[in-house]
Structure 1
Amino acid sequence: MNKDKGKVFNLIINGRMKEVDEKKLSYQQVINLAFGQVVPTPNIVFTVKYSKGKHEDKGSMVEGDVITVKEGMIINVTRTDKS
Structure 2
Amino acid sequence: MAKTHEDAVSPGTGIPSVMDSAYEELLGRIVIAMLRTGSPVSRKTLFLKIAFLMNETEEPAQTLLYEGVFRLLLNAERSR
TM-score normalized by the length of structure 2: 0.26
Structure showing the higher strand proportion among its residues: 1
Structure showing the higher helix proportion among its residues: 2
The structure with the largest alpha-carbon Rg is 2
